[in-house]
Structure 1
């Protein structure tokens, strides 16, 4: 069966229908965003993101079993997690899957540019188009909160894993973390867009052009996020699907408190104002606060307070 083609220019009728269909909303939104996604989220395939991806993976799953002979990324987007794990020596051969044809296309393009052994399929997480016992590892980053039936997705992941195979999902929003991150973002957006109305700061105001017919799907950003998670609840979902050795770990508290205002500010001002000096400041601040989270705050604060939750488990 041939995978569907990307549709980066959704019609008005398609977008309207997507408000009642979360899967269609995710396809249309991520097809529209695919070609600019890496730039938007500062995704790269160099030492910075290799170190981040392998660090996250090892924090929840450890280094035992590496390198995994075969791995699939569920909801791969542009391939950020899988491709950087491959470059970091965690995985030998990979497969990318996503509900969005546009994302699969970009992920395979990124893999080819890096010279990595990767194939790909357009795939619904609740009906993964691979046979039973296909992979040694399944990974995902910021994907579970887009899936309508998370437990069904866990069951499918376990089906395509080989006996004893492992899954690792990272970058999922916690309930409390999402609450404070959204409010920090909203406050920062309000402050930035209003302060830059002042004449002396007008050059810092980013033009807010209305959506045209080529970017209608951008409005779907408000409806593609379906879930936030309590770490214990997420563990129970995976266990209920049949996983063993399930463990959830959280990260980013201080880093999230600073990171969300910084990301929102960057989205609200002209990109030419964000100098290399600013970007280095933001990156090194995030590194320092992440170290504070790992070395101190994770030992004294409840895991529910942190922004990101990561989970791992195995097939029997």
Structure 2
């Protein structure tokens, strides 16, 4: 049995990795996870348009309800695995999914920001720096474990799910959303690379130079992208991910997929936003991006889902329960 670790001994964030550390991280995926996410922690919410208001509360709850809408609420104590800045758990708690929370991440910087966000929201949340393959909590601790875009970062997914089941109480449930499908990841990366190349080259010339970020910022983004290629380890076929969950010992396993047309807009939009100065993008751009995403999400859910096989959608959601 793994026991709760002694508080106060988590490592400090390291937001400014040295070149030597970056080179070492290219051969060590867990070091890359820490360096990349510590690097991104303080600006992550802005980069990914993460908020803790109605917009993201509805989004997080929608991902949860897509796979676990029939479950009785609220859960007592929930944990987020690979919490990042707390986007998924904190918004789910605000929607009434859980009463108390714990955030865990391999990155000290992300845990720090997630706890700060929780404090600002007045939520009952504690946090630990934690390896998903060896979660530092007792057996049978949580009623619910959630995660968003985390499983694809973990080297041994089945081992992590075994740990999730260990810390869940009998009958407890896990819900992991936002995992890239194999086909979806292919077209998302292709569109992102094309958007980056076009934007950074077109803004070299003439009046469009005012739309170009300083070269040092572009270089830093490129270094982050190099680490991102190391930290993104897996993509998932929905049926294969369900099989991994069952092999880990989960019961009542099911999967769902979402975002096809919405992903084809979302990835170029995010890449463009990273390539140009933020002051160039005002309220009109934000309204276009979010409104376009909502309209295409409606198209995905009401039209494309009926005619396109699930494996072509970008995001995979998986759930399962700990047997009694």
TM-score bracket for the superposition, by shorter chain length: over 0.9
2:302 to 278, 295, 303: 295
Give the root-mean-square deviation of aligned CA atoms.
Answer: 1.6
**Distance 1:28-1:290 versus aligned 2 partners, 3 A rule:** same
CA distance in 2, matches of 1:219, 1:176: 21
- Count of paired positions: 315
Q: Deviations over 1:229-280 (max 9, x none)?
A: 1111100000000101111100000001111111111112121111111111
**Distance 1:40-1:264 versus aligned 2 partners, 3 A rule:** same
2:237 to 214, 227, 230: 230
SS at match of 1:29: helix
CA distance in 1, matches of 2:192, 2:11: 35
The runs of 5 or more residues in structure 1 that have no matched partner are none
Aligned: 1:307 with 2:308: no
After superposition, residues 200-279 of structure 1 pair within 5 angstroms as: 200-209=207-216, 219-279=226-286
2:123 to 88, 99, 116: 116
Match for residue 93 of structure 1?
A: 100
Aligned: 1:56 with 2:63: yes
Aligned: 1:159 with 2:166: yes
- C-alpha contact (below 8 Å) 1:68/1:137 kept by paired residues: yes
Match for residue 3 of structure 2?
A: none
- C-alpha contact (below 8 Å) 2:34/2:108 kept by paired residues: yes
CA distance in 1, matches of 2:317, 2:154: 16
Q: Deviations over 1:21-55 (max 9, x none)?
A: 10111011111111111111110000000000001
SS at match of 1:10: coil
Match for residue 125 of structure 1?
A: 132
- Offset, 1:179: 0.3
Q: Deviations over 1:145-189 (max 9, x none)?
A: 100000000100000000010000001100000000111111112
Match for residue 15 of structure 1?
A: 22
- C-alpha contact (below 8 Å) 1:28/1:217 kept by paired residues: no
- Offset, 1:217: 6.1
**Distance 1:228-1:70 versus aligned 2 partners, 3 A rule:** same
Q: Deviations over 1:283-309 (max 9, x none)?
A: 001001001111111121100000000
- Offset, 1:210: 6.4
- C-alpha contact (below 8 Å) 1:9/1:216 kept by paired residues: no
Match for residue 69 of structure 1?
A: 76
CA distance in 1, matches of 2:70, 2:97: 8
The runs of 5 or more residues in structure 2 that have no matched partner are 1-5
Q: Deviations over 1:110-155 (max 9, x none)?
A: 1011000000111100000011111000000010010000000010
CA distance in 2, matches of 1:208, 1:264: 16
- C-alpha contact (below 8 Å) 1:250/1:310 kept by paired residues: yes
**Distance 1:279-1:211 versus aligned 2 partners, 3 A rule:** closer
Q: Deviations over 1:74-100 (max 9, x none)?
A: 000110000000000111100000001
**Distance 1:244-1:263 versus aligned 2 partners, 3 A rule:** same
After superposition, residues 126-145 of structure 1 pair within 5 angstroms as: 126-145=133-152
CA distance in 2, matches of 1:246, 1:253: 23
